[in-house]
Structure 1
Amino acid sequence: MGLFVEVVKAKGFRGAAEAIGIPNSTLSRRISGLEKAIGLRLLHRTTRKIELTEAGKIYFERCKRIVEEARLAHEQLGEMLAQPSGVLRVSLPVDFAVTYLAPLIAEFAGLYPGITFDLDLTPRRVDLVGEPFDVAIRMGQPEDSQLIARQLASLESHLYASPGYLERAGEPHKPSDLEKHECFSISKAGAGFWTLRDGKHTAKISVGGRFTINSVGLMRRLATLDMGIVLVPAEVVADDLAGGQLRRVMPAWHGVPMPVYAITETRLLPAKTQRFIEFLRERLEP
C-alpha cells in the first residue's frame, strides 16, 4: 500500500524508487504483485508516465484515508502518553495509604487531571487476574511469583512508644528488655518475634502483649494511647512524632527493612499505570 502511494505521488517508478531507496525493477515487481493480489489493474504504464486506472483511483483514495487515519491515531496515542487519562483502579494497604500515600495520590491527581481514581483500601490480597485492578501497592515480599513486582521503596522500621507508656513501664535500652514490655504483634506468619539490628549485631526477640492486630493503623493509635511499643516505618507515625504523641526508643536499633512493591498482572501497562508507578517510585525512594 505504501509503495503504491509513493509511485502515484512521484508520478512514476523511477522517482518513487529513488525516494524510497530501492531498485526501480524491485518497485515495479512489487506493484505488479499488488495488482495480481487485488485482481485489478491499478496503473496504466507508458514509457513516459503512469496514469491511474478507475480502480487505481478508488484504491489510491482508500490508501490516503488509511494513511490519514493512521497519522491521526499516532497523534492521539502521543497525546495519551503525554497526558494519560481514564480510570486508574488501585488496591492499597489501608494504613499506609491513609497515613502516608494520601498526599502523594493528591499530588499525582493534580499532575494528571484526565485520570479518575477507583481506590480500594482493603487488607485482603486482591486477585489481579480475576478483578479489574490496574495495580496493587503492597508492603512486604510478594507472595505470587506469577505476577510482576516492581519495588518502589524499602522502609526501615523503628521502635516507638508514647511518653505516657514509657513513664509507666520504663524505657527499654537493649533488645532483651523488650521481652518485659507490651509490644504490639501483627497477626500473620512470624508474629511474636522481632528481628532487630544495630549495624553490627542482629537480635531475634520474642515479644508479646495483650494485643494481636491485623492493622498497623490501630497499633499506631493504641501506642499513642499509652498501650505499648510498636515497630513500624517512620513514615507511618510521622504525624504522631511531630505532635509528641510518640517518640523513638532504642534509637541505635531498627527492624528489617520492609519493601514496598507495585504489583501488576502484566508488563504491558497503559500510560496511566506506568506514570503512577514511576511517580510513586520517585517520591518513595530515599
Structure 2
Amino acid sequence: MQLLNYMHLYVEVARTKNFRKAADSLGMSSSTLSRNIAALEKEIGVRLLHRSTRRVELTEAGEAYFNRCQGIVEEANVAHEALRGEAAHPSGTLRISMPVDFAINYLAPVLAEFARAYPLIDFELDAGARRVDLLAEPFDLAIRMGPAPAAPSTLVARQIALLERHLYASPAYLDQAPPLAHPEDLAHHTLCVAGGIKQDGWVLFNGADSMAVPIASRFRLNSMGLSRALAAQGVGIAVLDNMIARAELASGLLQRVLPQWSLAPIPVHAITDTRLLSARTRLFVDFLKARLGGQDSVVRR
C-alpha cells in the first residue's frame, strides 16, 4: 500500500513537473511531498527526477516509470471508488475548464440540473478562452469547441454536442445594407466573425450543394457572445447557432439570413487526459452527452 501511495504522489509530480503545484493538488506541503519522492527513489534505487530551483525534469528512468505508474494509479483509483460506493454516491470536487460563451448559453442549465441530481459533488469552474494544460493542471476535463486536439497523444476526446451554424443579422442592418439573396452577396456586407471560423472564406451548404465564398470581415472577435451582440446592434452579419441567438430571435432583434444556407456544424468535445475516469467525471460527461445530444464517439490522438 505504501508503494502505491508513492506511485500516486510521483505521478502527480511527473504530470505537473512542479512540486508546489503537485503538493497543492494533493493537499500536502511541498517538503512532505519531496521527502516522499526521495523515499520512493531510495526504495527502488533509481533516480527519477532532476531537481533544480526552477523546474523538475524526468530522468529517462523516471519517464519510463511514469508511463507504467500512471495506468496503475488510475486503475487503483477507479477500483477504490467502486469499493467505497462512490460510483453509487459520487462525491468530491469536479474541476472543469470551458469556453465562457458555451458555459453561459449551454452548460449553465445542465450544470444546475446535474448539481441537483448529485448533491455531494462540488465544482471548480474555469470559464475563459485560455486552453488549460490537462497534463500539468489539476482539471478533470476541459470542454472545447472545434476538432479534437491533435496533441498531446495522451488526451482523449469525447464528442458531447454538434452545433449547427447559421447566418444572422438585425432587421435594421438589412434595411440599409446591399441586397442579400445569394451567398456571393456576402462579399458586399459587413461581417462579425468569431474565433474558430475561417477569416478569409466560408463554405456554405444547402443540402447536398456547397459553395466556397471569399469574405473580408471587418470585426474579428474571440467571443461568439460579442458577435451576437454586435449583430443585434445592426453592425453586420454574424455566424451563430440557434441556442446562442434564441433570445434575440424571439424578440426580433435578429433574424436568419440566407435561410437555405448554413456553415458546417461545429463539434464540442469533453477532453480528458485518460480513459479511466472517476465516477463523478464519467457521470458528468454522460450527462452532457444525454442533454446536449452528443454522438457516442471517443477519439484518442
Counterpart in the other structure of 2:276: 268
Please say if 1:184 is aligned against 2:192: yes
Q: TM-score, normalised by structure 2?
A: 0.67
Q: TM-score, normalised by structure 1?
A: 0.71
**Change in CA separation of 1:152 and 1:110 when aligned onto 2, cut-off 3 Å:** same
User: Alignment partner for residue 210 of structure 1, among 209, 215, 218?
Assistant: 218
| Distance apart, 1:91 and its partner CA | 0.4
| Distance apart, 1:189 and its partner CA | 7.5
Please say if 1:81 is aligned against 2:99: no
SS, match of residue 257 in structure 1? strand
Alpha-carbon distance in structure 2 between the residues aligned to 1:109 and 1:172: 45
**Change in CA separation of 1:239 and 1:197 when aligned onto 2, cut-off 3 Å:** same
Counterpart in the other structure of 2:54: none
Please say if 1:118 is aligned against 2:124: yes
Counterpart in the other structure of 1:11: none
Alpha-carbon distance in structure 2 between the residues aligned to 1:237 and 1:189: 17
Alpha-carbon distance in structure 2 between the residues aligned to 1:189 and 1:235: 18
**Change in CA separation of 1:118 and 1:160 when aligned onto 2, cut-off 3 Å:** same
Please say if 1:241 is aligned against 2:249: yes
RMSD in angstroms over aligned alpha carbons? 1.9
SS, match of residue 276 in structure 2? coil
| Distance apart, 1:223 and its partner CA | 0.7
**Change in CA separation of 1:78 and 1:240 when aligned onto 2, cut-off 3 Å:** farther
**Change in CA separation of 1:216 and 1:129 when aligned onto 2, cut-off 3 Å:** same
Alpha-carbon distance in structure 2 between the residues aligned to 1:189 and 1:201: 20
Counterpart in the other structure of 1:283: 291
Counterpart in the other structure of 2:227: 219
| Distance apart, 1:165 and its partner CA | 0.9
* Bigger Rg, which one: 1
**Change in CA separation of 1:171 and 1:82 when aligned onto 2, cut-off 3 Å:** farther
| Distance apart, 1:170 and its partner CA | 4.5
**Change in CA separation of 1:201 and 1:75 when aligned onto 2, cut-off 3 Å:** closer
| Distance apart, 1:100 and its partner CA | 2.0
Contact 2:192-2:230 at 8 Å conserved across structures: no
Contact 2:204-2:210 at 8 Å conserved across structures: yes
Contact 2:81-2:278 at 8 Å conserved across structures: no
| Distance apart, 1:167 and its partner CA | 1.3
Please say if 1:134 is aligned against 2:140: yes
Query: What fraction of aligned residue pairs are identical, expressed as a percent?
Result: 48
| Distance apart, 1:137 and its partner CA | 0.6
Q: Which runs of 5+ in 1 are unaligned?
A: 1-72
Alpha-carbon distance in structure 2 between the residues aligned to 1:234 and 1:281: 18
Alpha-carbon distance in structure 1 between the residues aligned to 2:256 and 2:84: 49
Counterpart in the other structure of 1:173: 181
| Distance apart, 1:188 and its partner CA | 5.6
Amino acid at match of 1:110: R
Counterpart in the other structure of 1:254: 262
Contact 2:98-2:143 at 8 Å conserved across structures: yes
